[in-house]
C-alpha cells in the first residue's frame, strides 16, 4: 500500500496510526504543498491528503479522506477493528471521529498556524515554511477573532477528553477505536505549543501511548531526546 501525504498533516498521521495499529506494511510518498493537487485531482477528484493507494488486485485504486481510509482498512483487515461491532458504540465512535475531524481538527489548525506565524516562527523560519503558513492562513481565513473561538472550542474538547481518557484510557468502550486515533492525531500539533504542553501533560502522555500502541513515530515536540551515541553519529 502507498500513502500519499503531507508529512506534517494530522489527518495523514491519523491514517498512519490506523495502518500501524493493524500492522499493515505500507510506504509513504510526501507530496509538495501547492503541487499536490496536480497529482491528487485526477486520482480522487479532490485535493486533500491523505490518499491511500491499496495497490492490490480487486481493491479500489485510490481512497481519499481519512474516514474512508479507516472504513476500507476495517473491511480489508477486520482485526484489530477500528470501529466497535456493537451498533451503539459504533455510532458513538463515528460521531466522535466526525467531531474531531471537522470541528476540533479545524480548531487545532487555527491555533497552530497562528502560533507558527507569531511566537512559534523560530520553529522553522525558512522562507518556504513561512510562505506555506501564510497560504494556509489565507486559505482558511485565520484571523484573531477566529483563533480565539478556536481556542475556546479546544478547551471544551480537552475537558471532555480529560473526563474519558484519564479514568479509562478509551473514548468509547473498553478498547482503542477510531475515536482515539482521530483525537490523538488531530491534537498532536499542540505538542509544539508551550501553553498546551505545560497545561495538559496528561494529553501528551496519552497521545504518546496511542502512538506507541500503533508503532508510529511520535509527533514533533514529543520525540525522545537523542541519546549521546545518536548525537555523536549525526
* Cβ-based nearer residue to ligand GSH, 66 or 93: 66
CA distance 120 to 220: 13
The answer to whether the CB of 109 falls within 8 A of the CB of 187 is no
What's the min distance (Å) between Cβ of 32 and ligand GSH?
11
Strand partners, 30: 5
Q: How far is the CB of 16 from ligand GSH (least distance, A)?
A: 12
**Which of 34, 32, 163, 46 is CA-nearest to residue 96?**
163
Q: Write the CB contacts of 104 (distance below 8 Å, at least 6 apart in sequence).
A: 153, 154, 157, 183, 186, 187
175-210: burial string, b at 16+ Cβ within 10 Å, e else: ebbbbbbbbbbbbbbbbbbeebeeebeebbebbbeb
Question: Which CB, 103 or 169, lies closer to ligand GSH?
Answer: 103
Residue with cell 500500500: 1
CB of 230 to ligand GSH, least distance (A): 30
Measured from the CB of residue 90, what is the shortest distance to ligand GSH in angstroms?
18
Which residues have a Cβ under 8 Å from the Cβ of 90 and sit 6 or more positions away? Answer: 83, 84
Nearer to ligand GSH, 5 or 214 (CB): 5
The smaller minimum CB distance to ligand GSH, of residues 92 and 98, is found at: 98
Contact residues: ligand GSH, CB under 6 A: 6, 9, 11, 37, 47-50, 65-67, 101
Residue 87 or residue 141: which is nearer to ligand GSH going by CB? Answer: 141
What is the distance between the alpha carbons of residues 93 and 188, in angstroms, rounded to a whole number? 19
Query: What letter would DSSP give residue 1?
Result: -
Q: Which three cell numbers stand for residue 154?
A: 479546544
* Residue at grid coordinates 481518557: 165
Question: Prior bond to 80 cis, omega within 30?
Answer: yes
Measured between alpha carbons, how far is 234 from 231 in angstroms, rounded to an integer?
Answer: 5
Cβ-based nearer residue to ligand GSH, 101 or 114: 101
The least CB distance from residue 121 to ligand GSH, in Å, is 20
Query: Is the Cβ of residue 11 or residue 196 nearer to ligand GSH in the bound state?
Result: 11
Q: In the complex, what is the shortest distance from the CB of residue 182 to ligand GSH, in angstroms, rounded to a whole number? A: 9
Least separation, in Å, of the C-beta of 231 and ligand GSH?
A: 32
Amino acid at each position: 500500500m502507498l500513502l500519499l501525504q503531507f508529512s506534517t498533516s494530522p489527518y495523514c498521521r491519523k491514517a498512519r496510526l490506523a495502518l500501524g495499529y493493524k500492522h499493515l506494511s505500507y510506504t509513504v510518498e510526501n507530496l509538495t504543498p501547492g503541487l499536490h493537487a496536480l497529482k491528487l485531482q485526477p486520482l480522487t477528484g479532490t485535493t486533500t491528503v491523505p490518499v491511500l493507494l491499496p495497490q492490490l488486485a480487486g481493491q479500489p485504486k485510490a481512497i481519499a479522506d481519512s474516514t474512508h481510509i479507516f472504513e476500507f482498512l476495517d473491511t480489508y483487515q477486520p482485526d484489530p477493528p477500528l470501529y466497535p461491532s456493537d451498533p451503539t458504540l459504533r455510532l458513538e465512535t463515528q460521531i466522535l471521529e466526525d467531531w474531531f475531524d471537522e470541528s476540533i481538527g479545524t480548531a487545532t489548525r487555527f491555533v497552530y498556524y497562528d502560533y507558527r506565524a507569531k511566537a512559534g516562527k523560530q520553529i522553522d523560519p525558512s522562507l518556504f515554511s513561512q510562505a506555506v503558513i501564510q497560504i494556509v492562513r489565507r486559505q482558511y481565513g485565520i484571523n484573531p477573532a477566529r483563533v480565539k473561538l478556536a481556542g475556546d472550542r479546544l478547551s471544551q474538547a480537552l475537558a471532555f477528553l480529560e473526563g474519558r481518557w484519564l479514568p479509562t484510557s478509551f473514548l468509547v468502550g473498553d478498547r482503542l477505536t477510531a475515536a482515539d486515533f482521530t483525537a490523538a492525531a488531530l491534537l498532536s500539533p499542540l505538542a509544539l505549543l508551550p501553553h498546551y504542553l505545560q497545561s495538559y501533560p496528561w494529553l501528551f502522555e496519552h497521545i504518546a501511548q496511542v502512538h506507541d500502541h500503533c508503532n508510529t513515530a511520535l509527533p514533533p515536540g514529543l520525540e525522545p531526546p537523542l541519546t549521546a551515541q545518536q548525537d555523536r553519529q549525526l
